[in-house]
């Protein structure tokens, strides 16, 4: 076990700083303070982040941290921390790691014993969820679905049995196809499409998936899609191979087996004892049960 008391040690710190998703007035005083005092700021796009920092009068060394160079960038940030620098990681909008780069460097920083400290701020996921009119908890955030129809349908079939509210990100040029795929796999569930949140053209479309599809070709902007969870008995449809894969992924990320079982149970609603039996070879479940 590694225990981090964030403000009771002098170890270098990796700050994960949320930035506004549209309205710059939502930048928090703490976020501004952290960025002002950071030795280095790592970001997705130095041009976009440069404009944000200029707006708040912040001058700091700015480096790029992107998905395609995460391995190299992570090593660079860990090296900066090893030299005693405090590094702030930001994304173009919202929280780092949430469908944005950052997972690798957080895992590496934790492994090396540096502080990893979140700095609260705007979240498109939570903004959309609480205003959707659908149950706010439990929920499952899935990020972007795969671009190909085959892979998208396959992924949706994994989510179909789950009773929790489902949340996705989607780009405007793919939204109509995405909604049609959801309707095909999930059925005509209640849903909400939130777009351009905190901006002047903020809009929420609430209805069924089929109703949202009718309006899909007329809307633009950054989008979050919230879909009602499965309200039927779902246990018979759970793909246990997917559950086992989730456990293995959690173990590979550093959890103990027991922690991984507990985590996956909380995320999927599958009872812990069933996952335990599956992991330890005591279950008869294979594939979809």
For residue range 237-258, list pLDDT tens digits in order. Answer: 677 888 889 999 999 989 999 9
Please say which residue of 107, 122, 137 terminates a domain: 122
Please say which residue of 227, 246, 264 terminates a domain: 227
The whole-model pTM stands at 0.78
Domain co-membership, 129 together with 67: no
Confidence of residue 283 (pLDDT cuts 50, 70, 90): low
Domain co-membership, 114 together with 129: no
Contact 26, 202 (CB under 8 A): no
> Is residue 36 situated within a structural domain?
yes
> Is residue 56 situated within a structural domain?
yes
Q: Indicate which CATH number applies to the domain containing 43.
A: 3.40.1010.10
Domain co-membership, 77 together with 141: no
Reported as a single tens digit per residue, the pLDDT across 67-94 is 777 888 899 999 999 999 999 999 999 9
Give the least confident one: 31-45, 62-76, 173-187, 269-283.
269-283
Domain co-membership, 100 together with 162: no
Question: How crowded is the C-beta side of 146, counted as CA atoms within 13 Å?
Answer: 11
Average pLDDT over residues 13-39: 96
> Is residue 246 situated within a structural domain?
yes
Domain co-membership, 143 together with 207: yes
Residue-level pLDDT at 265: 83
Domain co-membership, 22 together with 57: yes
Residue-level pLDDT at 109: 96
> Is residue 284 situated within a structural domain?
no
Residue-level pLDDT at 231: 82
Q: What are phi and psi of 134, to 5 degrees?
A: -100, 165
Contact 225, 191 (CB under 8 A): yes
> Is residue 138 situated within a structural domain?
yes
> Is residue 289 situated within a structural domain?
no
Alpha carbon distance 288, 43 (integer Å)? 41
Residue-level pLDDT at 236: 58
Contact 161, 267 (CB under 8 A): no
Domain co-membership, 148 together with 69: no
Domain co-membership, 250 together with 216: no
Neighbouring residues of 251: CB distance < 8 A, sequence distance ≥ 6: 257, 260
Q: Indicate which CATH number applies to the domain containing 148.
A: 3.30.950.10
Domain co-membership, 137 together with 183: yes
Number of domains present in the structure of the chain: 3
Please say which residue of 92, 122, 152 terminates a domain: 122
> Is residue 154 situated within a structural domain?
yes
> Is residue 175 situated within a structural domain?
yes
Containing structural domain, residue 76: 13-122
């Amino acid at each position: 076990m590694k225990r981090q008391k964030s403000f009771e040690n002098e170890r270098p710190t990796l700050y994960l700083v949320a930035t506004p998703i549209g309205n710059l007035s939502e930048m928090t005083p703490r976020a501004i303070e952290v960025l002002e005092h950071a030795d280095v700021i790592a970001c997705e796009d130095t041009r976009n982040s440069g404009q944000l920092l200029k707006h708040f009068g912040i001058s700091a060394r700015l480096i790029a941290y992107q998905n395609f160079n995460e391995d190299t960038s992570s090593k660079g940030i860990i090296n900066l921390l090893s030299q005693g620098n405090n590094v702030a990681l930001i994304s173009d909008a919202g929280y780092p790691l949430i469908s944005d780069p950052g997972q690798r460097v957080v895992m590496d920083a934790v492994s090396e014993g540096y502080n990893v400290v979140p700095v609260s701020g705007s979240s498109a996921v939570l903004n959309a969820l609480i205003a959707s009119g659908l149950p706010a908890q439990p929920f499952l955030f899935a990020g972007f679905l795969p671009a190909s129809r085959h892979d998208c349908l396959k992924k949706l079939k994994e989510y179909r049995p789950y009773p929790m509210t489902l949340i996705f990100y989607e780009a405007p040029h793919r939204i109509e196809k995405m909604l049609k795929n959801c309707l095909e796999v999930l059925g005509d569930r209640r849903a909400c499409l939130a777009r351009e949140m905190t901006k002047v053209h903020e809009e929420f479309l609430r209805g069924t998936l089929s109703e949202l599809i009718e309006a899909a070709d007329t809307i633009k902007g950054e989008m979050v899609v919230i879909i009602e969870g499965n309200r039927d008995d779902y246990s018979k449809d759970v793909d246990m191979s997917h559950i086992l894969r989730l456990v293995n992924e959690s173990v590979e990320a550093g959890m103990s087996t027991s922690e991984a079982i507990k985590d996956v149970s909380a995320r999927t609603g599958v009872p812990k004892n069933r996952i335990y039996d599956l992991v330890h070879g005591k279950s008869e479940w294979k594939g979809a049960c």
